[in-house]
C-alpha cells in the first residue's frame, strides 16, 4: 500500500503568526527536497494566511493533490515525470 506523510502541519497553533511560520517552513522544505506535503484545517486564520500568500504560492510552486505524490504519473519521456511535477517553479 502506498502512503505519504505530511512534512508540515500548518495550523497546529491557530494564530496567524504561527501559521505563517509553518508556511515558510513548508516553502523551505519544498525548495530543498523538491516537494513537500502540508496539511491544515479550514480555520479562518489558516484561510487568511493562505489567501494572503496565494500569489506567491502559485508563482513559486505547483500545488497538486497528495494523490500525485502517492501515485506519481507514469514515466513519459524517460526522465521520470514524477520527479519534476512538484519541483519549485524555475525561470528558464
Is residue 82 very low, low, confident or very high in pLDDT (cuts 50, 70, 90)? very low
Q: What 3-state class would DSSP assign to 73?
A: coil
The model's pTM is 0.74
Q: What is the mean pLDDT of the chain?
A: 82
* β-strand partners of 40: none
Residue carrying C-alpha cell 512538484: 86
pLDDT band for position 1 (cuts 50, 70, 90): low
Give the residue from 67, 65, 61 showing the smallest Cα distance to 86.
Answer: 61
Q: Look at residue 3 in the predicted model and tell me its pLDDT.
A: 76
Indicate the pLDDT class of residue 70, thresholds 50, 70 and 90.
Answer: confident
Helices (H), the chain: 16-33, 44-52, 54-60, 67-70, 81-84
pLDDT score for 86: 45
Amino acid at each position: 500500500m502506498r502512503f505519504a506523510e505530511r512534512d508540515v502541519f500548518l495550523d497546529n497553533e491557530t494564530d496567524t503568526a504561527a501559521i505563517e511560520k509553518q508556511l515558510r517552513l513548508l516553502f523551505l522544505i519544498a525548495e530543498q527536497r523538491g516537494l513537500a506535503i502540508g496539511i491544515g484545517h479550514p480555520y479562518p486564520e489558516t484561510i487568511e494566511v493562505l489567501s494572503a500568500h496565494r500569489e506567491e504560492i502559485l508563482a513559486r510552486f505547483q500545488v497538486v493533490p497528495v494523490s500525485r505524490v502517492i501515485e506519481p504519473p507514469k514515466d513519459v519521456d524517460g526522465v521520470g515525470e514524477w520527479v519534476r511535477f512538484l519541483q519549485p517553479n524555475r525561470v528558464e
